[in-house]
Structure 1
Amino acid sequence: MSALLDTVRAGRAQAVPGLVKPLTAAERRTELAGLKALRAELRDWGWRRWRERQRIGCALVVAGAGCLTGAAATAAWIGARDLRESASLPHEVLLDVLAGRDPRWQGDVAHRLAGRASTAALDYRLITGLVRRAGCEVPATDAYVDGWVEAVSSQDGPLTALRGDLDVRILVPRLFETAELPWRLNAWSDPDDPRHWPSVLAVLAEEGVVERRTLVDAAVARLLRGGRPGELTFFLRLLHRLELTAKEERERIADWTGMAADGPPAVADHAQGLLGRLALAGALPARSLADLSASVLFRPEKKLVRAQLVLLGKVLRVDRDAAAEVLPVVAEAFGHEDTAVQERALKLVARHLPALDADRRSEVVRAAALLSPVHRDRAREVFGELPEADEPPYEEILPPVPEPVRLAPAPADLAELVEEVAALIASPDGGMPAFERALDGLVGHAYRDRVALVRALRPALAGCWWLDDEARQDRDRWFSRDTHGVEVVAAALLDRISTRTLHASFAREASGARGKGAGVCAHSALVGVIDARLREAAYLVHAKPPPFLLATPTWETGALDAAVLVERLREYGRLGAAPGPADFAQALLRVDRGADPAAVRGAAALGTPEGDRLVAWLTADGAPVPALRPLAEPPRPAQAVDEAWPAKPPAGRAVGLAAGLRPWRKEPERERTERAERSAVRREFPVAFHWLGDPGARAVPRCYHWAGVRGGNWTAVLPQDREPLAGLLLTEAASCARDDERGGTWWLPPLAELGGRPGRCLLRGLAYGLGARHPQDRLMAVDALLVLAAQGEPAGQTLGEELAALVVSGDVKINRLTDALRTAAATGAYGTVASVLLPALPALLAPEPSAAGGDRSGSTRAGLGGILAVAADCVERGTGAQGIPGLAELAARGGTSQVITQARRLLAAMGP
């Protein structure tokens, strides 16, 4: 030990420079060896000593920087992740310990530190101090610019600091070139705030500290480049604060045109306003205005499209000679998907049609064939006889029906298996196929050669915390709470979990809310099954590994062929292996119960309890267990609380029934039947499967669990029972529509791909998904809808009824549903969308009741016009439609609102 090492171990960073500076080069090399050894020691410390490691690491950074001689080694030491436990370092102390070095060496270190993207912003003051001493140029990297902005913004106002900053002319232009804008630049939106960066930069330009043209050109270039909306807001604010002159605006007409055509909505709106002023002032040529309109009129933002048509109308009133250039472009909007845009364009063309010559007029007339049928009569009044549109007969476009894919066997090569296990632990959401392959591979290799498996796993999983020298009780507590996927099996193989914990976890009951009539929390039910299998495998590989797992699926859907299971049981009997209870129970849930008689005969010939049980399972009349019997009418999640915990009738049983309440007690015969069924399930299944004995098993409306990363494995728990599984997961989708949550519709496409006629639970989940808050969740529902349609399963009437009920109840908003159905129709599935939407329209056309219960017979639902437009678009394609109650009455009302217009359009498309 030395005085320097003693000081470092004590964490006294302030005292290090006084001990390092007097040392000779040889003495520093000697001390450096001890410092490196201490650094290696710190890496092995557990997380409990993080405060001590943080304090010693800070002093170690200072000591190592003072003892190292190379610039590259010094910069690497200062920026090392394992030494930087805190967000920042004592920069003044570091500058002190490096004070006697050669200026060029200090400049080299500064530039190397600035090149470290992860730490340069934090080390801004250290880098700046080294640059000032070296007298070298500023290392204007992105991270260094972030640190500069943070340092300047941390003062009362950046303006005073920037006026005296020596590097302001170099660093200000770099603000417009960084990959990500420093967040401080956009933190304050009030122009009068002294920390408002656009105002600060505008004042610097006025004072000549920075060049105005540089700011304007850089801001325009950044807006053209695009980026996140929040970042682009900064550059828009800067241009607004700079107050461009008319000359500066005219010089950049091409830039504004590019922004209006392709920029984000806020940028396009700004550019459109500038170009509009230039056009009305006569500074924008007609050809340029036409080119601009050709792009803007087909943007998805209706506000921009309407504003462009208004602008064109104003320009044509001032300059009639521009009609020859502009009107043919306006006529292209006859093919716009929004019929309101078509109507505006038609009115504009009709108003200025006399200004066109014969050639231009014929060009506009040809474009009129693109108009929606609802505008054809008006178009004939304007143009005369219209050319017939050459449209082929309607043909529905649907995705191909998904083909079943066999699950690849577990890797036979040990190195390949270890690689897959390490990848799955690093990224647990790798999917069910990767999970099943890894789990089966670990069990199989543990049976064949556990020593070799352990020897290969240990270095591959070196980054896992439970391999550190932590207290065993911490690891046991961690894995007793959650299996963390195949990690629990790997930890058991590496002897990082006590045998007592493994046995207790293997034997204990699965947790979950499963009271009488309370339904089942999907997390407790499905995760409980997966965890029971994992804990069983972890216990068995530690005690007596089976040769392979029985429940490994045959197909990537999670299904297991009965013949394959029979052969596995036969091999178990030959080897004298005992099936794991959870593994065999999961195999039963995965096996195809419509198996051929040969599989039944093969199971009967086994002569084992498992074979006899498989025969009974395959030959059972109907669903083998109560929870797998689909409910005739699943309860809505909004009502599930009342059904799970019914209130006692206020005046006895008769009053409760008269009020439509659920009886306080079930009928005695039903009670006896359910009790017998639950007893049978408890005898035949492990405890994690006991929820299968609840005949009303379904998702509870609320639970305290998170979906976690194993949600992708849930559908493989009940691959043969799509409807009961959908009932368990229904609340996930409902929360996306009712509570604006994310990610709860992930299960819709995989369940749709299972095939068969969809039941009420799946269709209700699909209805919730189509009305989800977030576009990604709606896309999942659209995918599921298209898959069901491709399978040829007629579900439109039932799904339409579900959608109407959810809209009427307020669980689903019409505008979200409109977006989802429009997306589905745009893929070419207009017939599918019509089959769903048209049955829902009668309920949607009914007047929406007021909150106070008053008469609102003349009102319509908010957003009804949009969904009527989707329906009209589908019917106009030739999908066919019958009469819709209430549509004619709505179309007969006066006015030109969107609802009335689209109702008339739909009625006209349906024909007599």
Structure 2
Amino acid sequence: MSELTDAVREGRVQDIPGLVKPLGAADRKTELAALKELRKELGRWSWDRWRERRRAGLALIVAGAGCHTGAAATASWIGAREMREGFRLPHAELLDLLAERDPDWLGNVAHRLAGRASTAQMDYPLIEGLVRLSGCEIPATDAFVHGWAEAMPSHGRLLPALRADPLVRTMVPRLFETAELPAPVGWYGDAEEPHHWPTALTVLAEEGVVERSLLVKCTIARLLRGGRPGEAAFFLNLLRRLGLTADEEREHLADWIGMAADGSSTVAGHAQGVLGGLALAGGLPVRSLADMSRSVLFRPEKKLVRAQLVLLGKVLRADSGSAGELLPVVAEAFGHEDTAVQERALKLVGSRLSAVGAEVRAELTLAAGALSPVHRARAAEVFGELPAEPEPVPYEEILPPVPVPAHLAPAPAGIAELVEEVVALVVSREEVTSFERALDGLVRHAYRDRAALADALKDALADRWWLDGESEKGRDRRFSRLPHGLEVVAASICERVSVTALWNTRARAAVRQSCAHTVLNGVTEARLWEAAYLLRTRPLPFLLATPTWETGALDADVLVERLSEYERLCAAPAPVDFAQALLRVRRDAHPEAVRAAAALGTSEAGRLAAWLSGDGTALPALDSGPEHRRPDADAPAGEGRHWLESVTGRVGAVRERLAIHREFPPAFRWLGSPVRPVGSGCHHWTGSESVHWPAVLPEDRETLAGWLLPKVAACAEEDQRGGSWWLPALAESGGPAGAGLHRGVAYGLGARHPDDRLSAVDALLVLAARGDLDAPLLGRELAGLVASGAVKPKRLADAARTAAATGACATVWSVLAPALPALLAETGPARPGLGEVLSVAAECVERSGARGGIPGLAEWAGRGSTSRLAAQAARLLAALRQGGDQTMAH
């Protein structure tokens, strides 16, 4: 022990420079060896000493930096994250201690620290100080630039600070080269705020502190490169504040065209405006305008498409000689998916058709063949005789392949392979199949040779908190709260959690009247705690509940075989393991399996036989309840929440069944008690959902749908994100697909965020491919949700168009057809977006050749209005009547 190590242990950072400076090279070498040992010791301190360890760690960094001689070793020591634990360095003490070193050495350390992406941003004050002391070149790493931006003050102090900063000329251009814009640079709410970065940079350019031409060039290059929406907003604001001249705009002509073609919506809109101004001023060649228009006219943003057609119309009016080159570009929009865009393009071509020669006219007439049937009559008036329509290709519905259930691979046969899989799951616990295989593998190998398995796990998981530094009391406390996935089983095998703690946790009763988060997570947690406990008391030869299918389902004959093997080995089934096996066993068992289970003669086999035959204990949570009404059409959207809490008989209040409490362990007693749905007043955060849930009840997807419904409903009603993740999984699960699942799909199709809508589309297509889709039911649910305001028609149209684009037009129409009568029958103004729904419906009918009638459609089509709703109603009506004069239902 020395005075220096004592100061480090006590965390006296301010004393370290005074203790190190007087030391010679030999003494520093000796102290460094002691400091390295102290570093190892520090890593073994338990978490309950975290304050002491934090102070000692920072002191250790300063002391070690002063005792090292090599630049590389010094930088590595300073950047060591396990000593810093995410805290900022004491840079004043470090600079004081290192200032005596050679300038080249200081510059070397500065550049090495700047190259450490994980810490350089936080270490900016130290690196800047080293650069200042050494006079070396400024580091150009992204992290250093981010650190510089974060070091700048905000509000009224920003501009003076930038003016006075000697690094500003070098660092401002680097802002535009980083992979991501530093967060403080984009923190401004008001685009006209005088004390934020866009304004400050503009002022610096006006004052000559930063070269204006360089700022313009870098801003345009960054917009062309693309990036996050927030970053684009910053650069667009900066560009507008710079106020480019006409000459500067013409200088970057190719960049504007690239942005208009491939930029984000806002960037493309700005570029389109710049190019439009140049075109009308004669500064944009017709050939360039034509090239730009070809790209813009097929962008998904209808606002940009309409604006481009308007621009082309203005150019054609100003310069009729450009018609020969521009009208063929306009005609390319005849094939646009939006019939309103087709109509605009047709009107524009018709108004300027006289300005082109016979060759161009023939080209335009040929292009008119791509128009929707609803526009062919008008096209015939414009062009005269149109080319004959090609013989229609018989429509073929394209659905995804029916998901083929995959067998779950057996548990890893060797310890090395098993340990590798366990390590992967410790890092990421999101793979259900690997989890089930690894859990069964741990049980099997521990049964055979627990000592060998423990040795392998200790080597592979040496850095885990329960193997290094944590006290026994701390480990027991943490594992009693949560099993941390497979870690509690691995810790039990390595004897790093006490049997007493596992017994107390395993015996803990489930919380009554709880939410689905608790009960579903509780099953997985109870399985882990039980396995961890039994590994130390009476090891199981294997698990009964390990699925035979990747969905989580378990074949009845396999479970019978496992029970038979248990009987042969005189092994008693574990209660939680057997209860989970019952919930997973497939209900379509062959009578032979029932008879084989009954013939075994054990109590568990008897329960299995009764379960499969329907003679066992009734489970209210899994029973079908009476169908509840949908929300009233005039009910506010928020009232859907109260309806959802009682939407299925499974979720409603049910009397507790004493038999269930006798036959099932505490983690499963929710089967006889009311369970609140996820999101129904529970305390769990969004994102607490688990991919393990579908595997808990793989044969009861309606039960899960009832519990999870409020989350996907919130995606539509409250614009939340991520609540529809379970829809595709349940579409592939077993059991009836009833009102709960279809209602969940309906809410998902109207979700706010595209990812959630895509999950619902996937579920819809899988249900259709499996023959589980009840299209009239889903259509009625959609109509009710739209009428209540829970689902917005525009979102529904987007989801339906996505599904139809896969080739499932007939499926989409089968869902929309029963929804449309109620939507069209509403009194008062039409709902915004309903025209988009009719557009998708018309497209599906045109492609699939569906026929029939929709009540109320003819009235909307016959109103003579120029609205999109009336136009698409007429289009759908014509498509339904195509091929024959059929009487429409009214």
Mapped pair 1:900 → 2:870: yes
Letter in 2 for 1:878: S
Q: Kindly provide the CA deviation profile for residues 231-281 of structure 1, in whole angstroms up to 9, marking residues without a partner as x.
A: 122222222222211111112111110110111111111110110011001
Pair 473,276 (structure 1): closer, same or farther in 2 beyond 3 Å: same
Deviates more, 1:897-906 or 1:483-492: 483-492
Letter in 2 for 1:536: E
Q: Which residue of 2 aligns with 1:604?
A: 598
Mapped pair 1:686 → 2:665: yes
Pair 759,83 (structure 1): closer, same or farther in 2 beyond 3 Å: same
- Give the Cα–Cα distance (whole angstroms) in 2 for the partners of residues 86 and 92 of structure 1: 18
Deviates more, 1:267-276 or 1:556-565: 556-565
1:137-216 to structure 2, matched below 5 A, reads: 137-153=137-153, 156-188=156-188, 190=190, 193-216=193-216
| Cα drift, residue 127 of structure 1 | 2.0
Q: Which residue of 2 aligns with 1:415?
A: 416
Mapped pair 1:575 → 2:545: no
1:22-421 to structure 2, matched below 5 A, reads: 22-85=22-85, 87-153=87-153, 156-188=156-188, 190=190, 193-390=193-390, 391-421=392-422
Mapped pair 1:761 → 2:755: no
Q: Kindly provide the CA deviation profile for residues 345-368 of structure 1, in whole angstroms up to 9, marking residues without a partner as x.
A: 111001000011111111111111
| Cα drift, residue 86 of structure 1 | 5.6
Q: Which residue of 1 aligns with 2:440?
A: 440
1:431-470 to structure 2, matched below 5 A, reads: 432-470=432-470
Q: Kindly provide the CA deviation profile for residues 120-139 of structure 1, in whole angstroms up to 9, marking residues without a partner as x.
A: 22222322222233222111
| Cα drift, residue 480 of structure 1 | 2.5
- Give the Cα–Cα distance (whole angstroms) in 1 for the partners of residues 5 and 150 of structure 2: 35
Pair 875,321 (structure 1): closer, same or farther in 2 beyond 3 Å: same
| Cα drift, residue 695 of structure 1 | 9.2
| Cα drift, residue 61 of structure 1 | 1.7
Cα pair 2:677 2:710 within 8 Å, conserved: no
| Cα drift, residue 295 of structure 1 | 0.4
- Give the Cα–Cα distance (whole angstroms) in 2 for the partners of residues 834 and 338 of structure 1: 18
Q: Which residue of 2 aligns with 1:3?
A: 3
Q: Which residue of 2 aligns with 1:659?
A: none
- Give the Cα–Cα distance (whole angstroms) in 2 for the partners of residues 332 and 565 of structure 1: 63
Letter in 2 for 1:530: T
| Cα drift, residue 616 of structure 1 | 1.9
Pair 217,697 (structure 1): closer, same or farther in 2 beyond 3 Å: closer
Letter in 1 for 2:396: E
Cα pair 2:617 2:660 within 8 Å, conserved: no
1:475-494 to structure 2, matched below 5 A, reads: 475-494=475-494
For residue 896 of structure 1, give the secondary structure of its aligned residue in structure 2. Answer: coil
- Give the Cα–Cα distance (whole angstroms) in 2 for the partners of residues 697 and 182 of structure 1: 43
Deviates more, 1:615-624 or 1:134-143: 615-624
**Structure 1: 5+ residue runs without aligned partners?**
515-520, 647-661, 848-856
Cα pair 1:755 1:791 within 8 Å, conserved: no
Cα pair 2:374 2:878 within 8 Å, conserved: yes
Pair 561,255 (structure 1): closer, same or farther in 2 beyond 3 Å: same
TM superposition score normalised by structure 1 = 0.91
Q: Which residue of 2 aligns with 1:883?
A: 853
For residue 236 of structure 2, give the secondary structure of its aligned residue in structure 1. Answer: helix
- Give the Cα–Cα distance (whole angstroms) in 2 for the partners of residues 365 and 622 of structure 1: 73
Letter in 2 for 1:617: W
Cα pair 2:444 2:542 within 8 Å, conserved: yes
TM superposition score normalised by structure 2 = 0.93
| Cα drift, residue 512 of structure 1 | 3.5
Q: Which residue of 1 aligns with 2:635?
A: none
Pair 701,10 (structure 1): closer, same or farther in 2 beyond 3 Å: closer
For residue 88 of structure 1, give the secondary structure of its aligned residue in structure 2. Answer: coil
Letter in 2 for 1:829: A
- Give the Cα–Cα distance (whole angstroms) in 2 for the partners of residues 700 and 164 of structure 1: 53
| Cα drift, residue 752 of structure 1 | 1.3
For residue 610 of structure 2, give the secondary structure of its aligned residue in structure 1. Answer: helix
Cα pair 1:370 1:389 within 8 Å, conserved: no
- Give the Cα–Cα distance (whole angstroms) in 1 for the partners of residues 165 and 276 of structure 2: 40
Identity of aligned residues (%): 65
CA RMSD of aligned residues (A): 2.5
Deviates more, 1:277-286 or 1:901-910: 901-910
1:648-667 to structure 2, matched below 5 A, reads: none
Pair 438,197 (structure 1): closer, same or farther in 2 beyond 3 Å: same
Q: Kindly provide the CA deviation profile for residues 739-791 of structure 1, in whole angstroms up to 9, marking residues without a partner as x.
A: 32222222211221236762111111111111122211111110011011112
Q: Which residue of 2 aligns with 1:658?
A: none
Pair 705,122 (structure 1): closer, same or farther in 2 beyond 3 Å: closer
Letter in 2 for 1:803: L
- Give the Cα–Cα distance (whole angstroms) in 2 for the partners of residues 811 and 365 of structure 1: 45
Deviates more, 1:257-266 or 1:536-545: 536-545
- Give the Cα–Cα distance (whole angstroms) in 2 for the partners of residues 844 and 864 of structure 1: 8
Pair 726,188 (structure 1): closer, same or farther in 2 beyond 3 Å: closer
**Structure 2: 5+ residue runs without aligned partners?**
632-638
- Give the Cα–Cα distance (whole angstroms) in 1 for the partners of residues 762 and 354 of structure 2: 49
How many residues get paired? 871
| Cα drift, residue 174 of structure 1 | 1.3
Mapped pair 1:863 → 2:864: no
| Cα drift, residue 880 of structure 1 | 1.0
Cα pair 1:512 1:525 within 8 Å, conserved: no
Mapped pair 1:587 → 2:566: no
Pair 444,231 (structure 1): closer, same or farther in 2 beyond 3 Å: same
- Give the Cα–Cα distance (whole angstroms) in 2 for the partners of residues 185 and 203 of structure 1: 15
Pair 683,196 (structure 1): closer, same or farther in 2 beyond 3 Å: closer
Cα pair 1:623 1:629 within 8 Å, conserved: no
Cα pair 2:794 2:833 within 8 Å, conserved: yes
Q: Kindly provide the CA deviation profile for residues 645-687 of structure 1, in whole angstroms up to 9, marking residues without a partner as x.
A: 99xxxxxxxxxxxxxxx9xx99xxxx9xx67xx2332333223
Cα pair 2:47 2:469 within 8 Å, conserved: no
Mapped pair 1:806 → 2:785: yes
- Give the Cα–Cα distance (whole angstroms) in 2 for the partners of residues 361 and 756 of structure 1: 61
For residue 691 of structure 2, give the secondary structure of its aligned residue in structure 1. Answer: helix
- Give the Cα–Cα distance (whole angstroms) in 1 for the partners of residues 675 and 99 of structure 2: 76
| Cα drift, residue 636 of structure 1 | 6.4
| Cα drift, residue 60 of structure 1 | 1.8
| Cα drift, residue 229 of structure 1 | 1.4
| Cα drift, residue 890 of structure 1 | 1.7
| Cα drift, residue 623 of structure 1 | 9.1
| Cα drift, residue 440 of structure 1 | 0.6
